[in-house]
Amino acid sequence: QKEVEQNSGPLSVPEGAIASLNCTYSDRGSQSFFWYRQYSGKSPELIMSIYSNGDKEDGRFTAQLNKASQYVSLLIRDSQPSDSATYLCAVSLSSASKIIFGSGTRLSIRP
> Which residues bind to another protein, rule: CB under 8 A?
4, 32, 34, 36, 42-46, 49, 88, 90, 92-93, 96-104
9 vs 75: CA distance, rounded Å: 15
Other C-beta atoms closer than 10 Å to the C-beta of 37 total: 21
Choose between 20 and 38: whose C-beta lies nearer to another protein.
Answer: 38
Least distance from another protein to the Cβ atom of residue 80, Å: 22
Least distance from another protein to the Cβ atom of residue 107, Å: 15
Choose between 41 and 111: whose C-beta lies nearer to another protein.
Answer: 41
60 vs 74: CA distance, rounded Å: 10
Choose between 3 and 75: whose C-beta lies nearer to another protein.
Answer: 3
111 vs 101: CA distance, rounded Å: 30
Least distance from another protein to the Cβ atom of residue 8, Å: 8
Other C-beta atoms closer than 10 Å to the C-beta of 50 total: 19
Assess contact for 91 and 33: CB atoms under 8 A: yes
Choose between 42 and 77: whose C-beta lies nearer to another protein.
Answer: 42
